[in-house]
Structures are given as structure tokens and as C-alpha cells.
Amino acid sequence: MANTLMQGFVLLVAGMGIVYVFLALMVWVMNRFAVIIPRFNHILPDEEPKKKTRTARPKANAPAATVAAPVVATDAAQQEEVRAVLPGAVLRVEVKPGDAVAQDDVLIVLDVMKMETPVHAPRAGSVAAVYVNVGDKVNTDDLLALLA
């Protein structure tokens, strides 16, 4: 009977020893690798959203397309800027400088999150300039075209 009791006690101590070793290992791992976790705070910060880092790249030498969203009257000649509403890539440019367009004509088609998103003319007029080419990446509020 004493022998069985002693074996049970040894197994209990050995089992608890395994648990304590496992807990000590977990504490060491958490302390050792706690340095890595703050490195990922730039991906999903707790307090503020990510800032825009890219700037617009208007190109005056190439035909382009536009996303008509915010339209801004620029001068007395009633030229209007057509700006990108969403960030994406230019799939197709449907107009070139000098083309006459009616209100709601498609000026450009953007690839926004793998969806084709047309950019429409805010008003009737003619295309004065196009600042993007097929394949260009655009950000929100980038200048795409100018309507006269």
C-alpha cells in the first residue's frame, strides 16, 4: 500500500512539474517575442487611420481618362476638373483632348477592387486635357481630365 501511495505521489509531482515547465516555457516565449508584436501596429493602428503617402502624377503629354465625381469650376472660361472618386487603375480611356462629350458620357473606366467603374462627364462640353493613361494608378481626388 505504501508503495502504491509513493508511486502516486511521484506521478503527481512529475505531472505538476510538466505543467510548470510548460507554463515557464510559455512565459519565456511571450516575453521573448513581445518585441515583434508592436512592429505590426502600422498595419492596423489603434488610434488613427493611415495617412495618404502618394501624390497625384498628372501627365500632360498623354491621353487620359477621368472619373467624374468632385467637379470644380476653375476659371471664367468655365473649365471643370474631373477628379477620381476612388483609388484604382485606369482600364480604358474613352476620350481624347478635343472630343465633344454630353453629360453622363463615359470618359474613363477604372479598375477599383477588381470591378470596372466608369467615370462620367459631369456636364456637356469638350475635353480640354486628359491627364492619365491606360495602366496608371490613381488615388482619390487625383486630377484625371479637364472639361471646357
CATH architecture, range 71-147: Beta Barrel (2.40)
Does 144 have pLDDT greater than 60? yes
Dump pLDDT digits (tens) for 70-122.
444 445 458 999 999 999 999 999 999 999 999 999 999 999 998 999 999 99
Q: Domain limits of the chain?
A: 2-40, 71-147
pTM of the full predicted structure? Answer: 0.49
What residues contact residue 65 under an 8 Å CB cut-off, 6+ apart? Answer: 90, 92, 93, 94, 95, 107, 108, 109, 110, 119, 130, 132, 134, 144, 145
Name the amino acid, one letter, at 51. Answer: K
